[in-house]
Structure formats: C-alpha cells, structure tokens
Structure 1
C-alpha cells in the first residue's frame, strides 16, 4: 500500500477571512484557535478574520496565520483517521510540518513561527532586498548565469522544473532579471515581498532563531520530515534545530523534496492549509502522484 505525505504551503497563500469558517463551525477548531491566540502577544485573530489585507501581509502576522490554519486543518484531518508517514512544508510551511510531525505542540509551533516572522521582518527592513520568479529556464542555467552578476543574488526556491525564485539585493535582482530574459527565460517577475527570504542576506535572522530554539524542547518523532534545505529525512529534535537555523537563509529544494517522498513510497499527498499552490507545483514535478487539497471544513467533510 502506498504511503501518505502531508505538505504545507508558505507565504503568499494567506487571505483575509482565512480560518474563520473553521473557527465558527467546529468546536475542536475553536478551542485550538483560542489557545493559539491566547499564547501570542499580538491580535492574530483580528488580522486573520477581519484584516485589513495590509496588516495580514506583514510577515509578523502572515507566518503564524498560515501555520495556525494549516495545523488546525491537520488536526481535523487526523480526527478522520488519516495520518501521514512523511511531512514537508514550503518555506514557512516547514513549521506547519514541524507541528504536524509533533516535534512541538500546536501552540508552541505557532509561537515559534511568530518569533521567526518578527525576526525575518526586522532583518528584511534593514537590507534593501527582494525576490523574483524566473519561469521557463532550468535551475542549473540560472545558477550559472547568476555567477556573472555582481552583488548578492542567489537561486533560493526550486519550486518546479521550470520555475525558480531568486533573492538578493534589489539592484542585483533587477540586473539578473534582464540577464536571464536575454538568455532565454520566458518570464522574470519581481515578487511583492518585503525581503530577500532564504538568501544569505537573511543570516542574521537565523542567528536570532538559533538562540530562540534553545528555549524549546523538541521531541524525536515517528513521522519523518523532509527538510527544505537538503531534501533529506529528519526525525530527531537535534537534526531539526540545525534545519530551522539553516532554513532561514538557505534554499527551499521543493523539486527534490517531492522526488524524495516518491522514492520513499509516497503515492498520495494531502496539501493542508490555505490555497492550492503546492498541488499545482507537485503536478508539474510528477503528475503520477495523487494530490488532495485540504483548505476548508467542506474539503474534510467531503473526503
């Protein structure tokens, strides 16, 4: 019998009103949400349910909002008797994977995510950086061409075979977009983000996280996590601490992550959380994998 993986989306999947129907129509969800909201020093509930959009777009709110909704849907899916053999998450989605695998409790996971969001926001404001999506060019060619650009610019998100995201200082990103288009990229799109996430410019955020994670007690788990930065399998708390540090300024190897899941016998993948972005990427990586989107109460009820 084929194995099951749960995967979790990252930043960009948020929307005003996210999770509100779950909160209002499910007692277990409401109880878990209230515990999360009580554990934070800011009003995440209003930002998620009522907005405004500009507030929810701030990393401090976006990241815990996505992880909170993802983990509550995860809990409701498990109540149905569906459990993963493996978990993985895209960027901040890796924190949802940490909670799903039970390295930390649900509310602790959201609390750590909120620290990450604040640390990344603080560093992003200090560096004049950005990101761009490069479409229609193999990642190997992008990496080679970026070596010729002065300044900091790196390939950071390997989303699917013909979509790679680059990050770095704004001047270098703009030069790189022109260079890559001249050399055959179909499109080079500047992304509406507040910083050069997953690039070496974010290393100071990693240093802050490194200190913070020492205040948490990570458990070893039976559910295996496929790491963003290496696409290798993690099941111990110590391995996870290293990944949390490295992931704040290291790449998201999503293509290799999905390949690793398939190598290990995964046939069905549940994308859990807002939106359906990962389902689209997974189909472009391997169309033979079955992908089920769990982004609402009705999606769970219809299983």
Structure 2
C-alpha cells in the first residue's frame, strides 16, 4: 500500500515551486488562483523571495501547502494514495490530496490558521525546543514538573521530541532535560508555542472557520496528528483538525499505525525530505521517496 506524507512549517526554501510553475500549465493555473484567493502575489515570494521573506507566518504556511498540493495535482494518474498523513500544517495538504477539502477551501483554511496562530503568538512570549536522545516518558515527566506552561508538542521519531510553551518554562525544562541525559535540548527559531495550550485563542478561531467549510468523504483514509489512526468520517476529521492546534503532533505513532495497516512505501509530497528522514528513523528498512514530475 502506498502512503503519501505532507510536510509542515520549516520545509520552505527560496525558489520553492518555481520548477512546477515552469513545467506545468495546471500548476500555473493553480498558483494564479492562489494569488487571487490570498489577495497578494505569494508566487513572487516563493519563487524570488529570500529565506527571511518566506519566514513571515502569512507566507510560510500557504507556501508549503501550495507546493505540496499543486505537486500532488500535477502528478495526475501517478498520484494514487492508499493512505495519507501530514505533519501539523501538512495535514491540511493531505486533506486536499485525498479530496476531503477543495483546493480553494484548503488554502483559505491554511491562511486563516496562519493568521490565528500569529495572533496567538503575540499574546505571550512563547517558544519551542527540540529534545534529542531521551525517552518520551522522561520528557513528559519533566514538562509536568516544570513551573509554567510547557508540554510535549511533536513526537517526531523515537528519541526526538519537541516541547512547547512559555519561554521561561521551556528554558527551565531544557536545563532539567540536559541534567537528565538529553544529548541536546535546544530552543528552535519559531514564532511561538505551537501545539500547546497557548494556541487556545487560535483553536477557537479556526474551529469557527472549519465549521463553515464543506468536508467531503475522503478517497482514502487520513492518519491525523491527534488520533494517529485511519479516519474517513468527515465529522471526525473536522474535530481532530480543530484540536490539532493545542494537541501534540503524534507523528511517530501515526507512521507506526500506517505501517501496521500495510504501508509498504512512503512518498513525501512537497518541499524537503524531513519526513522521509523521520520515517527511516522509525523503520530504517521502509522504502521512502520524494514525489516529482
């Protein structure tokens, strides 16, 4: 069974999507449609902007989404997923790829999500940190005993977990984690505490937008960050998508469940190869590839 996976924020790079635009009339049509929906020329920033330009929240999330989704659209008959999953933002790309959402509705939700998260970040100084070389249980225990708000946010692969919360709590947790034997515990250059309780204002805003969006029955199951199991019911997909902003991304568990359900290969659709690397760390024998036209 073929699994297709979609990257999240952080996979962006200067010049992303330009090859698609130059090679495919279908891609050109979709990029132009995206510019019209967003009300600014995101293609100019994607194709010619600097890494700094691409870091703007209102650009990053739609840019990664567009690269992934447009690539899946131009693959045509070659794109036949048996199952899909996306890391954080990538979940929305996956939901367009399996026809749960239309291209237009997916892009509008991504933009709404980006702006809501940006506003939530501005309410309180917050951050995230990568923790390497410790068991999940130890990281979870340290977060629980640290004063302030800090939680396990991304279960990326065994021995690699990201924590998220207010700046002081994350810094304090990092010091304790190093004492407990972490190989590294380093603050990440992100705008705020994604996938933590500090995203609650964004969750409420996104919930309203999701409620007013049509979700169709998907053409194949999605393994969502919140539940980690195969989901095909549109109402359940909606509910999981709402809670994703304040809940952890259980990527390790999702990939393990996809393998258990028969995934024989994982193809990453979009910028970068981060997810392929994580899949290999979960099962080094698993076949992985990048989608390309």
Q: TM-score, normalised by structure 2?
A: 0.97
**Correspondence for 2:60:** 62
2:141 maps to 144
Give 1:194's aligned residue.
191
Consecutive unaligned residues of structure 1, counting only runs of 5 or more, are: none
Superposed CA RMSD in Å reads: 1.1
CA displacement, residues 219-277 of structure 1 (integer Å, 9 cap, x when unaligned): 01231000101202211221111011100111100110101101111101110100000
Q: Work out which of the residue numbers 41, 45, 51 in structure 2 matches 1:53.
A: 51
Shift of 1:107: 2.4
Report what 2:71 is aligned to. 73
- Counterpart selection for 2:264 from 262, 267, 288: 267
Structure 1 Cα separation of the partners of residues 29 and 150 of structure 2? 44
Partner in structure 1 of residue 242 of structure 2: 245
Provide Cα deviations, 1:20-47, integer angstroms capped at 9, x if missing partner: 1211221111111111221112331222
CA deviation after TM superposition for structure 1 residue 59, in Å: 1.4
**2:264 counterpart SS class:** strand
* Alpha-carbon distance in structure 2 between the residues aligned to 1:100 and 1:45: 21
**1:40 pairs with 2:48:** no
CA–CA distance in structure 2, aligned partners of residues 253 and 125 of structure 1 = 26
The superposition leaves residues 196-227 of structure 1 with CA deviations (integer Å, 9 ceiling, x where unpaired) of: 00001101100000111122111012310001
- Contact kept, 8 Å, 1:44 with 1:61, in 2: the verdict is yes
User: What SS class does the counterpart of residue 3 from structure 2 fall into?
Assistant: strand
The count of corresponding residues between Structure 1 and Structure 2 is: 293
Kindly state the Cα deviation for residue 82 of structure 1 after the two structures are TM-superposed: 3.2
Contact 1:209-1:244 within 8 A present in 2 as well: no
Deviation for aligned residue 1:102: 0.7
| 1:52 CA drift (Å) | 3.1
1:28 matched to which residue of 2? 26
Q: SS of the counterpart of 1:275? A: coil
